Chain A
Amino acid sequence: MPAASGVMTEVSWPELAQIVGKEYLRAATAADAIDGVEVQRVAEPGAPEELAHALRWAQAAGLKAAPRGGGTKLGWGNPPAACDLVLSTARLNRVLEYAWADMTVIVEAGCRVADLQKTLAEHGQRLAVDPLWPEQATIGGILSTNDSGTLRARYGSLRDLVIGITVALPDGTLAKSGGKVVKNVAGYDLSKLFTGALGTLGVIVQAIFRLHPLPRQSRSLSFSGKPESLNQLLLAIQASKLTFTGLQLRAAQGNTHLDARFDGTAPGIEAQVKQVQQIAGSVAVSEAPANVWTTHQAIWDGATPALLTKFSVLPTQFAAVCALAERSARAQSLAWKIVVQNVGAGYARFEGNEQGLRTALLTLREEIAKLGGTLVALDCPVAVKRGLDVWGAPSDAQPLMVRVKQRFDPDGTLNPGRFVGGI
């Protein structure tokens, strides 16, 4: 893109080296490219102030920057219009304050999810999310991509668990919103604005979460059947008084399962298992395989080229989505798989050839839009998403979103072009 190449030769990288320290600024390699867009440098600031300073420097130099945590979801979004500098949060990886008796934690953005969970487990607690690749993914990364997993059925998504946030804005401002108390309505809730904003408004440097106790015991069942009958069973379980902590539908060609997880005390679980079996009636049931609750992660593995999409529909529409996915896949001779959580958000994977994947994406997106839902292409060969917006058609709030972006990042320094409608 013209904006980047025009300034490259005049960039005074030694200035940035002074800000973050010489040893923490390096030339980028091919591995740092984002969707094929080459990056010039990678900086690893060692403090929030350093990161904010580096960002201000980038803005003043007219450079484009991309924040990076564990780098597990860098391919999400549209290919960047340009990216000169990757700002890594790798060195901002501390758990700053763990108030276990208050069930809150203050953590830096670069802390890996699994590392945080390990700390919290020492007091029998957890951050009640199970995002993708917790061993590598960071707090800043899961927040920016709004990545939640199966626990959402009970504990809500990240937006419901984050109670405070500190961000660095492109003009170098370090700002916080919220705080370390669970209940707090003072001022605008910027935590929610930044959750899922894909690093286009500022860089998250710190977050505060409310925590939950680890379950005392847990038991999961899997039901097998046709998508329609399992969708009905899912609705029946939702409409019952059962307190499941996970409820998901897994589907592929001729092979569909419904998984339900119950946590709590032994007598509580036993009663619920009995009850859910009564509700299920004659539907085939077994103890769930141990890895069933990481299906949302396993679906990312398989033959390539592949297209991985995130869709969101109403719970009553799951069977319809399975039918649509199968139809789109069959028309293009693709293999397909789906895993969807009861709240309505799920992943659909297609494997085959690039042209077929692109056609399937466009068809399925249109069909799901007719249902009132949304479908976003998260991961696929660049050729599949070239020239189209991976996020789908913008809503009537798009002009307002553009205004928000302009206020926070007037020069378009952060992740230009990657978000909805080209934000």
Chain B
Amino acid sequence: MEARILNEFRAIVGESGLITEAEQLSTYDCDGLTMFRVLPLAVLLPTSTAQVQAIVRVCHREKIPFVARGSGTGLSGGALPVAQGIVISLTRMNRILEVDLPNQRVVVEPGVINLNVTARVAPDGYFYAPDPSSQLVCSIGGNVAENSGGAHCLKYGFTTTHVLGMEVVLPDGSLVHLGGLTVDRPGYDLSGVFVGSEGTLGITTKVILRIVKKPEVIKVLLAAFNSTNEAGAAVSGIIAAGMLPAAIEMMDNLAIQAAEAAVQANYPNCGGLLLVELDGPAPEVETLMEEVDDVCTKCGAWEIHVAQSDAERARVWTGRKAAFAAVGRLAPAYIVQDGVIPRTALPQVMSEIVRLSSEVGLRVANVFHAGDGNLHPLVLYDNSVPGQDKLAEKLAGDILRLCIKAGGSITGEHGVGEEKKMFMSEMYAEPDLDTMQLVRCAFDPENLSNPDKVFPRPRLCGEKPGVYEPHPLEIAGLAQRF
């Protein structure tokens, strides 16, 4: 990178906010998906919106692509740097700016850690609902980019449900406010479009979050079945009975073994384990828990246990949330997949996964947000065996194709990023992708913000200026078009 540009960057963020040494840059060469690595030209660590704006203005002027990065825990390579570009790390913008309990709003900078929002409001009985398994370390800015979910989004919704508004630095360096403290602000719901756009539309520098009151009672039931199919039937039974649990999670035997080995969650050793969490008023939870128990028994559960204390409930969840990492104990390497299927397609998709996995001779552990159909198959392999990584990659891809075929999605919460962009054209038709590009072209006509992610191939944004009727305000000289 030219010295004059580096000097300009240095003037914006100071010596301590600019990284250019190769060994330091390598810290940023990948995110949670380590199979892709690219060294950026520089990493900048701004501490304010004004600094982010100044950096982006330079990038825009010099046509330097930039990639925003939070904690780097993403699992689809969304924060993978661009070779001729820079990384803008938001970790130093980590202040909680405003807490308004009566209105249940919290305003944060993008580098704030997800769990810190809950920690801040927990003494007053509130929590921030989206709870990705990485919530101890992942940032709100990253959650916004990925529209992160978590086990409890079945009932409470995703990041998009809990983001009311944002301050955003657009790829040309201008600053806009999308949404706001109040709901239904006039105009397009660009906040809703920005959430989940994986850093391709700009950089958020401030986020207005909604917090939720903690329920009166939370109960978790563990039910052991002989198979995931039986457990799946129980899930359908629970839903058919008109219940909306806070979470329904399923693990297969391999995932259970891994979790047990890692955190001794005290799970029964079974073919399909179901975790059902209900929350709400005590008498309500009690009544419904009996019904859940009934449904599970009818579907073949041979052991049912309700966690008796908060500590026990926490242990149950630790096992589930540790499951990805725990699989590392069963194999030297693994790929985490993130497909979604209509819940009722579970038996058929599971048996297909078993077939595919035995065909290639690789084991697949399954962790499943069963309530909303989000499947996390973990493809286990040995990276010291030549070619096995490719086999694993192919198997993981074939599992995604199963999800598409079942009417589902290639990603429920990890994002498309770098990893899955080639699958986008299998899930969507060309006109669908072209239409999404219209949005990107409105935000980032020069393709500078996290370029070449999400979509299978880069597109040019040919300028097509529109023809407009003058607005009454314009005629009256009270407003002008920009």
Which residues of A approach B to under 8 Å, CB–CB? 1, 3, 78, 81-82, 99, 101-104, 124, 146, 156-157, 159-160, 167, 169, 173-177, 179-190, 192-193, 195-197, 201, 212-214, 216, 235, 238-243, 264-265, 267-268, 270-272, 275, 310, 312-316, 343-345, 372-374, 376, 386-389, 391-392, 394-412, 416-417, 419-422
Given A184-B340, A238-B104: A265 and B432 interface contact (C-beta under 8 Å): no
Whether the Cβ atoms of A394 and B185 lie closer than 8 Å is no
Q: Which of A104, A146, A271, A397 has the most CB of B within 10 A?
A: A397
Picked from B281, B369, B413, B439, the residue with its CB within 8 Å of the CB of A188 is B439
Instruction: Give Cα A212 to B155, complex, Å.
Output: 10
Write out the residue numbers on chain A whose beta carbons fall within 8 Å of the beta carbon of B282.
Answer: 271
Determine if B192 is an interface residue (Cβ-Cβ < 8 Å). yes
Whether the Cβ atoms of A181 and B342 lie closer than 8 Å is yes
Task: Supply 7 A–B pairs (Cβ within 8 Å), ascending by A.
Answer: A146-B184, A159-B192, A181-B340, A193-B439, A197-B189, A238-B213, A397-B176
Whether the Cβ atoms of B432 and A239 lie closer than 8 Å is no
Determine if B335 is an interface residue (Cβ-Cβ < 8 Å). no
Of all chain B residues, which has the CB nearest A375?
Answer: B186
Whether the Cβ atoms of B182 and A82 lie closer than 8 Å is no
Whether the Cβ atoms of B182 and A313 lie closer than 8 Å is yes
Write out the residue numbers on chain A whose beta carbons fall within 8 Å of the beta carbon of B257.
Answer: none
Given A241-B281, A394-B187: A410 and B466 interface contact (C-beta under 8 Å): yes
Write out the residue numbers on chain A whose beta carbons fall within 8 Å of the beta carbon of B441.
Answer: 407
Determine if B460 is an interface residue (Cβ-Cβ < 8 Å). no
Write out the residue numbers on chain A whose beta carbons fall within 8 Å of the beta carbon of B386.
Answer: none
Write out the residue numbers on chain A whose beta carbons fall within 8 Å of the beta carbon of B429.
Answer: 176
Instruction: Give Cα A195 to B236, complex, Å.
Output: 30
Picked from B105, B244, B442, the residue with its CB within 8 Å of the CB of A400 is B442
Distance between B231 CB and nearest chain A CB, rounded to angstroms = 15
Q: Which of B82-90, B157-165, B305-313 is the contact stretch?
A: B157-165
Given A124-B242, A184-B340, A267-B286: A401 and B187 interface contact (C-beta under 8 Å): yes
Write out the residue numbers on chain A whose beta carbons fall within 8 Å of the beta carbon of B183.
Answer: 157, 312, 343-345
Write out the residue numbers on chain B whose beta carbons fall within 8 Å of the beta carbon of A388.
Answer: 472-473
Instruction: Decide if the interface of chain A is mainly helix, strand, loop or mixed.
Output: loop
Instruction: Give Cα A190 to B435, complex, Å.
Output: 9
Whether the Cβ atoms of B182 and A183 lie closer than 8 Å is no
Instruction: Give Cα A271 to B287, complex, Å.
Output: 12
Determine if B253 is an interface residue (Cβ-Cβ < 8 Å). no
Instruction: Give Cα A241 to B283, complex, Å.
Output: 13
Picked from A182, A189, A196, the residue with its CB within 8 Å of the CB of B184 is A196
Whether the Cβ atoms of A240 and B469 lie closer than 8 Å is no
Distance between A373 CB and nearest chain B CB, rounded to angstroms = 5
Write out the residue numbers on chain A whose beta carbons fall within 8 Å of the beta carbon of B213.
Answer: 238-241
Interface size, B (range):
35 or more
Whether the Cβ atoms of B196 and A189 lie closer than 8 Å is yes
Picked from A213, A238, A394, the residue with its CB within 8 Å of the CB of B242 is A213
Instruction: Give Cα A78 to B182, complex, Å.
Output: 22
Whether the Cβ atoms of A102 and B373 lie closer than 8 Å is yes
Write out the residue numbers on chain A whose beta carbons fall within 8 Å of the beta carbon of B428.
Answer: 176-177, 186-187
Determine if B361 is an interface residue (Cβ-Cβ < 8 Å). no
0/1 interface trace, chain B 401-424, chain A, CB 8 Å (1 if under): 000000111111111100010001
0/1 interface trace, chain B 169-206, chain A, CB 8 Å (1 if under): 01000111110111111111110110111000000000
Q: Which of A104, A196, A372, A376 has the most CB of B within 10 A?
A: A196
Write out the residue numbers on chain B whose beta carbons fall within 8 Å of the beta carbon of A184.
Answer: 340, 408-409, 411-412
Instruction: Give Cα A419 to B177, complex, Å.
Output: 18
Of all chain A residues, which has the CB nearest B463?
Answer: A406
Write out the residue numbers on chain A whose beta carbons fall within 8 Å of the beta carbon of B412.
Answer: 181, 183-185
Whether the Cβ atoms of A185 and B147 lie closer than 8 Å is yes
Of all chain A residues, which has the CB nearest B471?
Answer: A422
Write out the residue numbers on chain B whose beta carbons fall within 8 Å of the beta carbon of A3.
Answer: 469
Instruction: Give Cα A372 to B432, complex, Å.
Output: 37
Picked from A175, A216, A272, A313, the residue with its CB within 8 Å of the CB of B431 is A175
Picked from B189, B344, B439, the residue with its CB within 8 Å of the CB of A159 is B189
Picked from B283, B439, B464, the residue with its CB within 8 Å of the CB of A190 is B439
Whether the Cβ atoms of A181 and B408 lie closer than 8 Å is yes
Of all chain B residues, which has the CB nearest A341?
Answer: B183
Instruction: Give Cα A188 to B183, complex, Å.
Output: 21
Whether the Cβ atoms of B343 and A397 lie closer than 8 Å is no
Write out the residue numbers on chain B whose beta carbons fall within 8 Å of the beta carbon of A394.
Answer: 187, 479
Write out the residue numbers on chain B whose beta carbons fall within 8 Å of the beta carbon of A345.
Answer: 183-184
* 5 residue pairs, one from A and one from B, having the closest CB atoms: A422-B471, A268-B284, A192-B192, A81-B469, A213-B242
Given A169-B435, A421-B471: A267 and B464 interface contact (C-beta under 8 Å): no
Instruction: Give Cα A136 to B435, complex, Å.
Output: 31
Instruction: Give Cα A345 to B186, complex, Å.
Output: 12
0/1 interface trace, chain B 281-320, chain A, CB 8 Å (1 if under): 1111011100000000000000000000000000000000
Whether the Cβ atoms of A213 and B436 lie closer than 8 Å is no
Instruction: Give Cα A271 to B185, complex, Å.
Output: 36
Instruction: Give Cα A275 to B482, complex, Å.
Output: 54
Q: Which of B341, B372, B434, B435 has the most CB of A within 10 A?
A: B435
Instruction: Give Cα A180 to B343, complex, Å.
Output: 11
Determine if B149 is an interface residue (Cβ-Cβ < 8 Å). yes
Picked from B244, B283, B411, B479, the residue with its CB within 8 Å of the CB of A271 is B283
Write out the residue numbers on chain B whose beta carbons fall within 8 Å of the beta carbon of A389.
Answer: 471-473, 479
Picked from A160, A173, A187, A405, the residue with its CB within 8 Å of the CB of B454 is A187
Of all chain B residues, which has the CB nearest A188?
Answer: B436
- Could you tell me which residues of chain B, from 197 to 242, have a CB within 8 Å of some CB in chain A? 197, 213-216, 236, 239-240, 242
Picked from B161, B186, B216, B372, the residue with its CB within 8 Å of the CB of A241 is B216
Determine if B384 is an interface residue (Cβ-Cβ < 8 Å). no
Given A181-B409, A400-B170, A404-B188: A411 and B466 interface contact (C-beta under 8 Å): yes
Distance between A162 CB and nearest chain B CB, rounded to angstroms = 10
Given A183-B413, A374-B186: A156 and B161 interface contact (C-beta under 8 Å): yes
Write out the residue numbers on chain A whose beta carbons fall within 8 Å of the beta carbon of B372.
Answer: 181-183
Write out the residue numbers on chain B whose beta carbons fall within 8 Å of the beta carbon of A241.
Answer: 125, 213-216, 281
Whether the Cβ atoms of B182 and A314 lie closer than 8 Å is yes
